[in-house]
A = this chain, B = another copy of it.
Amino acid sequence: MSRKSPLSVAIIGVGLVGSELISQLLSLPSPSPFKLVSLSSSKRTVFSQDGLSVTPESWTSTLASSASTPDLVALAEQLSTLPRAVLVDNTAAQNVAEVYPEFLKRGVHVVTPNKKAFSGTQQLYDEILKTSKESGARWLNESTVGAGLPVVQTLKDLVATGDKVKKIEGVFSGTMSYIFNEFSTASPGGPAFSSVVRIAREKGYTEPHPADDLNGADVARKLAILARSIPSLQSTLPEGYLSVSTRSLVPDALASVASGSEFVDRLSGFDAEYEKLRDEARAEGSVLRFVGVIDVETGIVKADLEKYPATHPFATSLGGSDNIIMFHTERYSPRPLIVQGAGAGAAVTAMGVMSDLLKLVL
């Protein structure tokens, strides 16, 4: 048995996560199991089948000086001529996600933190499964849920080793975690909902437009990804995250407010409603948390605002913008398997991508 040849890596997307990944990749001790053969932004691309001559300092200028524009299908062709290759998609782009089957059918692995392909239509998801199965090329998406936390692989391991998942329940959004950890505690009083959202936005914990977090779509996408990893739920969400029962925290009256700052200003008009929910929960000895629930027996997949007793780990153990995910299974019963920690941020997301890459060269 001998060492394999290096895995050729093509990276699309050079924003925060992409830059961090390139930095992690180029910092591996020599001899590296990887050869970086391509880099692409939305405007430019570079490719060298023998490996790009770049350093952590030089890659940005190398890419900036390229005259070539990205062509995904051409890239799939180029990678398919190499002995072993992987596409790393660090974008959040739907159009990149839709081309994964082109790579997989040519035997090129796909590794990505991009949720779009796995949380969208059943058709695209099935096409990914099918092309992967036929060619043997793998797709790995650890960092689509909980960033670098071991969530997706843990679920895959539970399923692959014959455990029966009964329920998955968790706080899947760092933004929602921060907002409700601050807003709803076991103690009386507390800040207004709109002030918490305003501070979260100022700290950069929300999207520029907080409605993009408060609408629950991000949580619904993560639920779709996990639910589809459970055999009995693989085909129960035909429209992906749109099929997930999702409570939006965006007041109807503010649904069409296009500016993030105007949205936060006008959100204060709804503070009394949120305060009422908080008081109701507290009267029961509970706190509010925006959670995702996958109930395998009933087939219910929902992103919702729920009450949890003040003694529950979602109340006692959470802090900051942590994610927490509980797996209730036949083996992990009555007490669940729990994973907790920062579930967002460039460094930990890139770590999840990198650990997927390392699985391919084990």
Contacts and interface: CB of A to CB of B under 8 A. Distances in A.
Interface of A: 1-3, 24, 27-28, 84, 107, 135-138, 148-150, 153-154, 157-158, 160-163, 311, 313, 316-317, 319-320, 322, 327, 331-332, 334-342, 345, 347-348, 350-351, 354-355, 358-360, 362
Contact of A362 (B335, B347, B359): B359
A335 B355 contact: no
Given A24-B161, A150-B154, A163-B351, A1 B360 contact: no
Contacts of A355: 157, 160-161
Contacts of A27: 162
Nearest to A80: B1
A206 to B, nearest CB: 19
Contact of A354 (B107, B160, B348, B350): B160
Given A150-B153, A157-B358, A160-B358, A341 B351 contact: no
A335 B342 contact: yes
A355 B347 CA distance: 26
Contacts of A316: 311, 313, 316-317
23 contacts: A1-B107, A1-B135, A24-B161, A24-B162, A27-B162, A28-B162, A148-B157, A157-B351, A157-B354, A160-B358, A161-B351, A161-B354, A311-B316, A331-B348, A331-B351, A337-B342, A338-B341, A339-B339, A339-B340, A359-B359, A359-B362, A360-B362, A362-B362
Given A313-B317, A332-B341, 18 more contacts: A28-B162, A138-B362, A148-B337, A157-B354, A161-B350, A161-B355, A322-B335, A327-B341, A331-B342, A331-B345, A331-B348, A332-B342, A335-B341, A337-B339, A338-B341, A339-B339, A340-B340, A360-B362
Contacts of A354: 157, 160-161
Give the number of times this chain occurs in the complex, counting copies: 2
A24 B330 CA distance: 14
Nearest to A311: B316
A342 B337 CA distance: 7
A332 B360 contact: no
Nearest to A354: B161
Contacts of A2: 136
A311 B1 CA distance: 52
Given A338-B340, A341-B336, A137 B311 contact: no
B362 A148 contact: no
Contacts of A351: 157-158, 161, 163, 331
Contacts of A107: 1
